[in-house]
A and B are shown apart, each in its own frame.
Chain A
Amino acid sequence: MKWLLVTAMVIATVLGDLLQSHEMKRAGEQSVSARGFARLLHVIAQRRLLILGIACNAVSFFSFMALVQTEPLSFAVPASSASFVLETLLAKFVLHERLGARRTAGALAVLAGVVLVGG
């Protein structure tokens, strides 16, 4: 059961973030003022893939909640960081982002840090 929850959490996180990143880049620059949030809600209502991305976030959140009810945080947090590796790779190959040596090194340092903090 615990690996099923980890798998569901990782897949939902990866899919949710990829969809949101892709759709928000297409929607253009947004702001975080009161009007900005209203416009953002309008953008969400118009884009089905964005709504799917948010639904994936919800699946990821509840999988994490269910996981920490039975497993210690020291397992759940490092397990959830698997999504970090997958997302960075998919950002390069699916979203065509340029990672470069500095960003890759930084991402690896953050990953090691997350595993240490959670472990």
Chain B
Amino acid sequence: MKNLTVRSGALLKTYSILLFFLALKAAGNSAMAWGMKQVPERMSMNPALYLRAMLNPFVAMGVVALILALLTRMALFSLADLSFVLPVTAVGYVIAVFLGKVFLHETVTHRRWLGTLLIFAGSALVGSTSSNTTRSSEVSA
């Protein structure tokens, strides 16, 4: 019984971190895309251009959100397998298509809807498997 409670607690934590990652990634990408449209210069290999682009508040917010998303994904790796994290985080593609359709009024082709459906179904299938098939060798406090 105690084991079951611990397992469901770990599962809840894994899915909470997954949702947080997806939200950060979607917010970061959207802010970055919106901000970059307002930056007049075209990007090249010159790093100064990227630094100047970050003066745009939307680009800066996007960078912060994407750095937090990177750290959140690393926290997710501490709880779940790589072969679990990769397919379930691909739901981000579904969110991107949805946000593009609703907010940017982008045209979504039948092919893209089919791809979105496959990603969603595949992620759900992987999400129904045990998230961690290997054990941590050290446990931090």
State whether the Cβ of A5 lies closer than 8 Å to any Cβ in chain B. Answer: no
State whether the Cβ of B86 lies closer than 8 Å to any Cβ in chain A. Answer: yes
Task: For A88, list chain B residues within 8 Å (CB).
Answer: 82-83, 86
**Complex formed: what's the CA distance from A105 to B64 in Å?**
35
Task: For A105, list chain B residues within 8 Å (CB).
Answer: 122, 125
User: What is the 8 Å Cβ interface bit string for chain B, positions 93-107, against chain A (1 contact, 0 not)?
Assistant: 100010000000000
**Prevailing SS type, chain B contact patch:** helix
A30 & B20 in contact (Cβ 8 Å cutoff): no
The number of residues on chain A lying at the interface, defined by a beta carbon within 8 Å of a beta carbon of chain B, is 54
State whether the Cβ of B78 lies closer than 8 Å to any Cβ in chain A. Answer: yes
State whether the Cβ of B61 lies closer than 8 Å to any Cβ in chain A. Answer: no
State whether the Cβ of B33 lies closer than 8 Å to any Cβ in chain A. Answer: no
Interface residue tally on B, bucketed by range: 35 or more
**Complex formed: what's the CA distance from A4 to B116 in Å?**
29
Pick from A37, A100, A109, A113 the residue with the most CB of B within 10 Å.
A113
A29-B79, A114-B115 are known contacts; what are 14 more A-B pairs with Cβ within 8 Å?
A: A18-B82, A20-B77, A25-B134, A28-B136, A29-B13, A30-B75, A31-B17, A65-B43, A66-B45, A84-B86, A97-B82, A109-B125, A113-B118, A117-B115
**Which residues of A line the B interface, CB within 8 A?**
17-18, 20-21, 24-32, 36-37, 39-41, 43-44, 50, 54, 57, 65-66, 69, 84, 87-88, 91-92, 95-100, 102-103, 105-119
